[in-house]
Structure 1
Amino acid sequence: MTMTGTLANHDTHACNCKSAMKHSSFHQFLLLLLVLLLTDLASCDDQFIFSGFNQSSLSLDGCAIVTDGGLLDLSNGTAILSGHAFYPTPLPFRKSLGGNVQSFSVNVVFSIFITYPDLSADGMAFFIAPTKNFSDARAAKYFGLLNEKNNGDPSKDIFMVELDTYRNLELQDIDDNHVGININSAISFKSNTSGFYEDGDGAFRRLMLNGNMGTQLWIDYDEGTTQINVTLAPINVGKPSRPLLSATYDLSTVLSNSTSYIGFSSVATTINTRQYVMGWSFGMNKPAPPLDISKLPKLPYLGPKAQSKVLTIVLPIATATLILSVGTLVTLVVRRRQKYAEVLEDWEGEFGPHRFSYKDLFHATRGFKNKNLLGEGGFGKVYKGVLPLSKAEVAVKRMSHESRQGMKEFVTEVVSIGRLRHRNIVQLLGYCRRKGELFLVYNYMPNGSLDRYLHCHEDHKAVLGWAQRFHVIKGIATGLLYLHEKWEKVVIHRDIKASNVLLDGQMNGRLGDFGLARLYDHGTDPQTTHMVGTKGYLAPELLRTGKASPQTDVFAFGMFLLEVACGQRPVKKDAEGHEFFLMDWVLEHWNNGLLTKTLDPRLQLGDYNTDEAHLVLKLGLLCLHPLPSSRPRMREVMQYLDGDVQLPELRPTQLSSNTVALMKNNGLNSSVVSYPQISSSFCTISGLSGGR
């Protein structure tokens, strides 16, 4: 019994041990499986590839769309908007919240199409950001990701690679065709001219970003070395071994969230460039999957339409008919060349795309027919046109010129002024020259000139209210401040008047007609001594020296202020036909306490702000001061108009009774002190016009 019991107890103990061992092994297996699962999740590698975007689930906003052909179009031909395209879900760039940003790789095939080969606009950018909400971004600037206040803010957590086709001096761009690495800013941390290094000889080959063709982009980040490499290549060339751009920057200090969104951004401008993405791949902790070029969607075709095959059918003609046809064709070609003949000298080659062909302008304006005539003046006629290829609406100014003297300098300055970019300045697109004629090409302004709204009294629908007039005044003042102080050179317009102020589709005032403008470097004196301009707008010192300056522009702006407020031209006629100046008329009413009576009678009482109206009238008189040094600069004019600074206390006698003494002290002849006498002396000076 004892032995049997002992054996039984031993067997029971053995069974219990085996059962415990089985449970222990099972728990160890579960623990091992859990560890492996967690390790796999912690080291999860994300990757994707898009060969076209027809079936993609991208998140789009702004003007970004996917075309029927599968292209991602970031701008959609819409002006002054931003476009964004995001991968729909955020990606885990950090294994944990406190960990480092992991290695990643991006491969993109893109193309930037430009409508006007002679112009450029902002390009596009690849970015990584903590959010998809960019509602506070500045439209048409900062790549649609930032604004003036948060540009450079380290809390934005944005990494960006820009593909820029416009040189913005404010953002310190190196040229108008570059690639940049940006950290929380539209100003590049590091940048380089667009191109690639060939693997064979290591030679650098320049690559135009807006060349209307496919281009490959690779972006690689290494977690260990924190090195960022950016590489470009044409679409038919493999990835070069040497990157275009390299920088060392720890993105763990930038991307603070554990997950971030990736995508593309662009801005659509009036120049109408199109930014297309054809394919996109991404890899986390591994190279981005290669893109098969043959499977990518096709870019739009920009060439001419296919021609009829009729010519191939009628080629086998008789010898006699062929000879006759050839002779006729030669005759037509000669006549056609004579019809569209231009003057083109060697020195004009450097201006390149700023020159339009006369043939294009001829067809754009339908042969300069009167039906397309917008207006005319002492310096030429202006026609509306539609460019044959781009279908862009333009205004073409046709002027006569007989002398070659100074033509090179004139065209040089016209082309330089064509680089001006400001919302209150009409864009000068380029020029054309043929024997005896010069053509200037501008953006078309659909609402015409301000002159029509001020002086066409029979058109009651064209009357501008005071709020609109004051908005136009501030816009033109902003444009003049840009010309005088904020551009890279000082630009003197020399012909500021209502007929040269144009209104765009939103009734914003834009200063146009730079045919008489001159420019010079900041800190130097202008050398212009040939007096030109329009009667009534010329400063008194021009009669003595003939030298234009920013202060002569201020004088003309002062007359413009009176013209807009009073609805009257600078030189008026009384009932007997005698001429007198608008300035004298306003001064007389002010002296009699009737300043409000000088306002345009079409402005109904109560429809205008009396304080604003008095400010404009008094500021106009201050700008018309006979001494240049007593006139305000445009920076001060803006401060007065914005209400940031009070207008100095003025009395009518300061600008009337003391005018003769002040002008004599400045060396001016007394014969030009009285404005009615100045009016009569204008008629004897060459180079002046009554408006254009």
Structure 2
Amino acid sequence: MFSKLLMWFIFMSYAVSKGDGVDFIYNGFRGANMSLDGAAEITSDGLLYLTDSEQQTGQAFFPIPLHFKSSRGKTQSFSTNFVFAIVPQFPNVSSFGAAFVISSSKEFPESPLGEYMGIFYPKNTHNSSNHTAAIELDTCYNPEFDDIDDNHVGVDINNLKSIHSAPAAYFSNTSGELKNLSLKSGEIMHVWVEYNGLGNLLNVTLSPIGLPKPDLPLLSTEVDLSSIMLDDMYVGFSSSTRVFSVYHYILGWSFKMNGQAKALDLSSLPKLPRKGHKKKSELLTIGFPVIVLFSILAAISAIGLIVRRKIKFADVFEDWECEYGPHRFSYKDLFMATKGFKDRELLGVGGFGRVYRGMLSASKIEVAVKKVSHESQQGMREFISEIVTLGHLRHRNLVQLLGYCRRKRELLLVYDFMPNGSLDKFLFDHPNSLLTWHQRFRIIKGVASGLLYLHEEWDQVVLHRDIKASNVLLDSEMNGRLSDFGLARLYDHGTNPQTTHMVGTFGYIAPELTRTGKPNTSTDVFAFGVFMLEVACGRRPIDTQSSVDEVILVDWVSICWRRGTILVAADSKLVHDYEVEEMELVLKLGLLCSHPLSAARPSMRQVMQFLDRDAPLPDLSSDGLRSAILGVGHYKGSDDLRFSLPSSTTSLQESVLSGGH
């Protein structure tokens, strides 16, 4: 006994001092000095097992660290081969697998429920300070780790998201054919891992026990381990189980630094434990009737569940919708994305529906899903056609409409998700952070650019018909994006829109709509003018709690303008922290866009020119505005019309009614 300990001590001293050439081989582990942790144990016949029941982790490491770095700081070449078997409690049913590990430490914190192969846990799975590389033999599909399937070999660097993986298989030396293997079959298999430090090439080869090493590796990955490796690292094995009992066995292991690891003597390896025939027989004779009965009940329950789910997730689908293809979402996908349209996913409630946040499982894209009730099927085909058409709009200041879904009496619209929510919350709902004037001016210009695209730059004219602060959403960089195209209407350039149905939000509706009910680009401009004043003044279009002169925002700004004190209307919360010229421009342009006479309003192209200072803003006095209208050709009426801005709601109404047009 003393002589064995002396020889082992001499070998250890040699390995530590001459780590560059360390070389060891275990044809079975009887008498081997291994560092064991968790459930790991060496049996009396030399079999190393890492786990033997559910919710366990087990590690077995070579007891001393090996010197992996050369004098120049590069990771040295190494090779290893080992024989293993994964034997599940039930045939082909497993939870997690085993891994060959190179780590800066041989002690790992215990993962919850035996997860993460026993070498990682949730708080450190992406930590670059782990200094851990592993070859995983994974028998569980975990989508959170981007696993390809539940039977694969992968190369892991500092976490369980493999940088390269492949289904378990081997290349036949005779035919060159790739043949599949099942890691959880209980069969004994052989693994070779070889790293070329000069070429930074890592090869992993797999085959059934007894076959020669395949000429072609299963995995060949170019990776520089120098940033992962410290000067001294431990080598060994780790495994974990979660729900079912799984036996992870290592039968033999060989390793060499800067050279080819010695071949294992397969005839000397220990045997796997045999399953008892008596136990199996009892299971069949006693448990079989119970299993059959349970299976029948489970099948009936499963069929009932499938029927209920089909009814629950049933979509309304007609033949004419086939042409819309990718713009059609399934109700099941949206239900899962929003976690069942739970209240905790609710983003807001408006006059036309409720909006929920969701995550599409397939693409991992965050979306906003709006549920709109639709009582009538009349015109549905035309409406869906317009929705799909609007899905082709592409502009940096428009919220992308991704598609739709129909179910019973509901219509669901799917949009890109905007993380900062709607603009009105930053203006009126006492947010933690105040929008600066620079941010507000950029938002105004952004929405104007998006509206110009809708009116003039797309294939058709798009009338938004509901422009307001609550329909302007803010992306992660606080850029304004016009949203909610549920009321939008399209028509060809050079024609007139056919709709005569007046819609919109009180306070943003152009006066002429109350008489004609016919929207056009000018009615959108009116709403945009009110929106500009809303952003600049930090006030809603109609505030019934204010004094008589200040109830209607447009009238109030008009009064301030006529008094020569238009800056009084600026948002007091800004505390005069704004560019005076920009504030005056926005306030005056807001009045011009929201003029009661549609002929007096500029086009959105002119609005952009005014905001970019490429054209001077017309004088808002009667003569100046009249000249501007006649100059741009928007209006050619009688000479006795008055173009001055109204002084109150009553004068606004009188101006509209007496103007003729």
Distance in 1 (CA, whole Å) between partners of 2:617 and 2:445 is: 15
Distance in 1 (CA, whole Å) between partners of 2:328 and 2:512 is: 36
Q: Structure 2 vs 1, CA of residues 406 and 655 (structure 1 numbering), >3 Å: closer, same or farther?
A: farther
**TM-fit CA distance, 1:637:** 0.5
Query: What's the counterpart of residue 582 of structure 2?
Result: 612
Q: Structure 2 vs 1, CA of residues 344 and 577 (structure 1 numbering), >3 Å: closer, same or farther?
A: farther
**TM-fit CA distance, 1:350:** 1.1
Kindly provide the amino acid, as one letter, of the partner of residue 383 in structure 1: Y
Q: 1:649 aligns with which of 603, 607, 619?
A: 619
**TM-fit CA distance, 1:309:** 11
Query: What's the counterpart of residue 314 of structure 2?
Result: 341
Give the conservation status (yes or no) of the 8 Å contact 2:404–2:413: yes
Q: 1:408 aligns with which of 369, 373, 381?
A: 381
Query: What's the counterpart of residue 373 of structure 1?
Result: 346
Query: What's the counterpart of residue 443 of structure 1?
Result: 416
Distance in 1 (CA, whole Å) between partners of 2:579 and 2:457 is: 31
Q: Structure 2 vs 1, CA of residues 354 and 665 (structure 1 numbering), >3 Å: closer, same or farther?
A: farther
Query: What's the counterpart of residue 521 of structure 1?
Result: 492
**Is residue 391 from structure 1 mapped to residue 364 from structure 2 by the alignment?**
yes
- 1:589-608 matched pairs, under 5 angstroms: 589-605=560-576, 607-608=577-578
Give the conservation status (yes or no) of the 8 Å contact 1:491–1:517: yes
Distance in 1 (CA, whole Å) between partners of 2:592 and 2:523 is: 13
Distance in 1 (CA, whole Å) between partners of 2:619 and 2:625 is: 12
Distance in 1 (CA, whole Å) between partners of 2:458 and 2:327 is: 19
Give the conservation status (yes or no) of the 8 Å contact 1:591–1:653: no
Distance in 1 (CA, whole Å) between partners of 2:638 and 2:306 is: 66
Q: Structure 2 vs 1, CA of residues 523 and 316 (structure 1 numbering), >3 Å: closer, same or farther?
A: farther
**TM-fit CA distance, 1:524:** 1.4
Query: What's the counterpart of residue 591 of structure 2?
Result: 621
- 1:425-436 matched pairs, under 5 angstroms: 425-436=398-409
Kindly provide the amino acid, as one letter, of the partner of residue 332 in structure 1: L
- 1:214-253 matched pairs, under 5 angstroms: none
Give the conservation status (yes or no) of the 8 Å contact 1:400–1:436: yes
Counterpart secondary structure, 1:483: helix
Q: Structure 2 vs 1, CA of residues 447 and 315 (structure 1 numbering), >3 Å: closer, same or farther?
A: farther
Query: What's the counterpart of residue 28 of structure 2?
Result: none
- 1:649-688 matched pairs, under 5 angstroms: 649-651=619-621, 676=649
Distance in 1 (CA, whole Å) between partners of 2:428 and 2:622 is: 27
Kindly provide the amino acid, as one letter, of the partner of residue 356 in structure 1: F
**TM-fit CA distance, 1:674:** 8.9
Query: What's the counterpart of residue 246 of structure 1?
Result: none
Q: Structure 2 vs 1, CA of residues 315 and 371 (structure 1 numbering), >3 Å: closer, same or farther?
A: farther
**TM-fit CA distance, 1:324:** 2.7
**TM-fit CA distance, 1:580:** 3.1
How many residues were matched structurally?
368
Q: Structure 2 vs 1, CA of residues 568 and 345 (structure 1 numbering), >3 Å: closer, same or farther?
A: same
Counterpart secondary structure, 2:461: strand
Query: What's the counterpart of residue 170 of structure 2?
Result: none
Distance in 2 (CA, whole Å) between partners of 1:324 and 1:531 is: 58
Q: Structure 2 vs 1, CA of residues 316 and 361 (structure 1 numbering), >3 Å: closer, same or farther?
A: farther
**TM-fit CA distance, 1:325:** 2.6
Query: What's the counterpart of residue 520 of structure 2?
Result: 549
Counterpart secondary structure, 1:632: coil
Give the conservation status (yes or no) of the 8 Å contact 1:626–1:663: no
Give the conservation status (yes or no) of the 8 Å contact 1:580–1:679: no
- 1:11-410 matched pairs, under 5 angstroms: 319-410=292-383
Counterpart secondary structure, 2:317: coil
Distance in 1 (CA, whole Å) between partners of 2:505 and 2:388 is: 24
Distance in 2 (CA, whole Å) between partners of 1:494 and 1:296 is: 59
Give the conservation status (yes or no) of the 8 Å contact 1:590–1:652: no
Give the conservation status (yes or no) of the 8 Å contact 2:549–2:556: no
Could you say which structure has the larger radius of gyration?
2
Q: 2:605 aligns with which of 632, 635, 644?
A: 635
Kindly provide the amino acid, as one letter, of the partner of residue 523 in structure 2: T
Give the conservation status (yes or no) of the 8 Å contact 2:549–2:648: no
Query: What's the counterpart of residue 462 of structure 2?
Result: 491
**TM-fit CA distance, 1:352:** 1.0
Distance in 2 (CA, whole Å) between partners of 1:477 and 1:617 is: 15
| Superposed CA offset, 1:147-169 (max 9, x none) | xxxxxxxxxxxxxxxxxxxxxxx
Counterpart secondary structure, 2:539: coil
**TM-fit CA distance, 1:320:** 4.1
Give the conservation status (yes or no) of the 8 Å contact 1:420–1:427: yes
Kindly provide the amino acid, as one letter, of the partner of residue 622 in structure 1: L
Give the conservation status (yes or no) of the 8 Å contact 1:354–1:415: yes
Give the conservation status (yes or no) of the 8 Å contact 1:356–1:431: yes
Query: What's the counterpart of residue 469 of structure 1?
Result: 440
Q: Structure 2 vs 1, CA of residues 577 and 385 (structure 1 numbering), >3 Å: closer, same or farther?
A: farther
Give the conservation status (yes or no) of the 8 Å contact 2:549–2:555: no
Query: What's the counterpart of residue 566 of structure 1?
Result: 537
| Superposed CA offset, 1:92-133 (max 9, x none) | xxxxxxxxxxxxxxxxxxxxxxxxxxxxxxxxxxxxxxxxxx
**TM-fit CA distance, 1:425:** 0.7
Give the conservation status (yes or no) of the 8 Å contact 2:367–2:417: yes
Give the conservation status (yes or no) of the 8 Å contact 1:579–1:679: no
Counterpart secondary structure, 1:534: coil
**Could you tell me the percent identity over the aligned residues?**
58
**TM-fit CA distance, 1:444:** 0.7
Distance in 1 (CA, whole Å) between partners of 2:289 and 2:386 is: 54
**Is residue 452 from structure 1 mapped to residue 425 from structure 2 by the alignment?**
yes
**TM-fit CA distance, 1:376:** 1.1
Q: 2:504 aligns with which of 533, 556, 563?
A: 533
Relative to the length of structure 2, the TM-score reads 0.51
**TM-fit CA distance, 1:462:** 2.5
Query: What's the counterpart of residue 450 of structure 2?
Result: 479
Counterpart secondary structure, 1:573: coil
Q: Where do 5+ consecutive residues of structure 2 fail to align?
A: 1-215, 223-242, 246-283, 627-634, 654-661
Relative to the length of structure 1, the TM-score reads 0.49
**TM-fit CA distance, 1:677:** 6.1
Kindly provide the amino acid, as one letter, of the partner of residue 420 in structure 2: N
**TM-fit CA distance, 1:575:** 4.8
Kindly provide the amino acid, as one letter, of the partner of residue 520 in structure 1: Y
Distance in 1 (CA, whole Å) between partners of 2:574 and 2:345 is: 32
Query: What's the counterpart of residue 267 of structure 1?
Result: none
**TM-fit CA distance, 1:576:** 6.9
Distance in 2 (CA, whole Å) between partners of 1:583 and 1:399 is: 31
Distance in 1 (CA, whole Å) between partners of 2:541 and 2:637 is: 24
Give the conservation status (yes or no) of the 8 Å contact 1:484–1:491: yes
RMSD: 3.6
Counterpart secondary structure, 1:462: coil
Kindly provide the amino acid, as one letter, of the partner of residue 594 in structure 2: L
Kindly provide the amino acid, as one letter, of the partner of residue 596 in structure 2: P
**TM-fit CA distance, 1:327:** 2.2
**TM-fit CA distance, 1:574:** 4.1
Counterpart secondary structure, 2:573: coil
Q: Structure 2 vs 1, CA of residues 385 and 538 (structure 1 numbering), >3 Å: closer, same or farther?
A: same
Distance in 1 (CA, whole Å) between partners of 2:556 and 2:464 is: 27
Give the conservation status (yes or no) of the 8 Å contact 1:445–1:505: yes
Counterpart secondary structure, 2:543: strand
